[in-house]
Amino acid sequence: MNKFKKRLYEYLSKTDFLGFGYYFFNKLNPRKITKAIIDIGSTCNAKCPYCPRQQEGFTFKDNGLMTEEIFETIYSQLKEMPDLKNISLYAFGEPLLNKNAGEYIKKIAQLNKKTLLSTNTTNMDKFTDELMLIDRLQFSIEGWDKESYERTRKNLKFEETIEKLKNFDEEVKKRRAENLKTPFRTIHCLFTKSTDLHKFIETWSPYVDEIRFTTMGPYISWSDDKKSTKLYYTKEMEQDCFKFDIPVEVKTCSYVNNTITVNSNGKVVLCCGDFSQHLALGDYRDLNKAFNCKLLKNLVKQIYFGEKNICNGCRNYFACDKDKVYKYFPELNNLESLSTDKCKIIVTL
């Protein structure tokens, strides 16, 4: 059997025909950058026990604030990306710790793409006008009262967060009454076994347009040779999270297919799972080159064909037992019925 036939035979025996179809579909439809994740602030002022920063061996160290030079170089390339649809100004930290955040938001808003930003709320009062330009504004919150909030968002204050959301909501109401642009405000609540879902809705729904509930899952940890990944649970997660132990078939991942993720120091990394920048694919000076690097292209193929690859230890490859979650929280079955005109409740396990 010649080399080509042997390779073809290996592919066919390892994968299904759907995967094969995907591969050729992608050959005919080359990858394009449709989403850019520009991490303007990789540092954080909180010490959340569920955060990958708290994992042993977390090594990333620099001031974590994207400079104007890096931002401008990226910005000039984003302007030339015809297929770009979404721009996120966050990935690994708190973007509003960057004093230039307001300027960066204003510039990105001029590109007429869908913009996203996630904040822990501490600095949002400094950027009220600019945050109104964001399309989807996410608040990082897990607790529902002083005790639970300050346990899950260490270093932050419950009363201050309530106050900031309340003030921001007043401003949103005023602007909506005048038909001015305001962001769609959402909380993506990553719940654990100890989350009080009803109290969570009661506390935060007055200040947002949507609350989305998803089970909190583990993070990725990388092997020393950077060739493999596995799931990592922080100590708190071990005790409190539902286990992700059901293998899932994965055919694709948007991060390798259509997304470019740039850290605050300008390194292009695989995805938001790479907190420690283990796998730098290139840098901010040439985003297209990084997106088309050999490693990413190979990864696309490996994922399609179900071959062993560095992503195999990612959460995408595992699910938790949904029946167990529903048994533990029977109220999840009718949580969405608590939606109001003001705030929509969504459950996505």
Q: Which stretches of the chain bind ligand SF4, using CB under 6 A?
A: 220, 253, 255-256, 270-271, 273, 311, 314, 316
User: Cα separation of 290 and 67, whole Å?
Assistant: 20
CB of 250 to ligand SF4, least distance (A): 7
Q: Which is nearer to ligand SF4, 168 or 219 (CB)?
A: 219
CB of 266 to ligand SF4, least distance (A): 19
Q: Which is nearer to ligand SF4, 92 or 144 (CB)?
A: 92
CB of 31 to ligand SF4, least distance (A): 13
CB of 261 to ligand SF4, least distance (A): 9
Q: Is residue 269 within 8 Å of 263, Cβ to Cβ? A: yes
> Position of tokens 């007043």?
170
CB of 280 to ligand SF4, least distance (A): 14
Q: Is residue 18 within 8 Å of 45, Cβ to Cβ? A: no
CB of 150 to ligand SF4, least distance (A): 30
- The CA-atom distances, in angstroms, between 337 and each of 55, 212, 286, 347 are 37, 13, 48, 11
Q: Which is nearer to ligand SF4, 35 or 164 (CB)?
A: 35
Q: Which is nearer to ligand SF4, 42 or 316 (CB)?
A: 316
User: Cα separation of 309 and 292, whole Å?
Assistant: 18
Closest CA to 261 of 68, 91, 31, 109: 91
User: Cα separation of 8 and 10, whole Å?
Assistant: 5
Q: Is residue 161 within 8 Å of 140, Cβ to Cβ? A: no
Q: Which is nearer to ligand SF4, 174 or 297 (CB)?
A: 297
> Position of tokens 């990858």?
31
- The alpha carbons of the chain give a radius of gyration, in whole angstroms, of 21
Q: Which is nearer to ligand SF4, 123 or 221 (CB)?
A: 221
User: Cα separation of 104 and 125, whole Å?
Assistant: 16
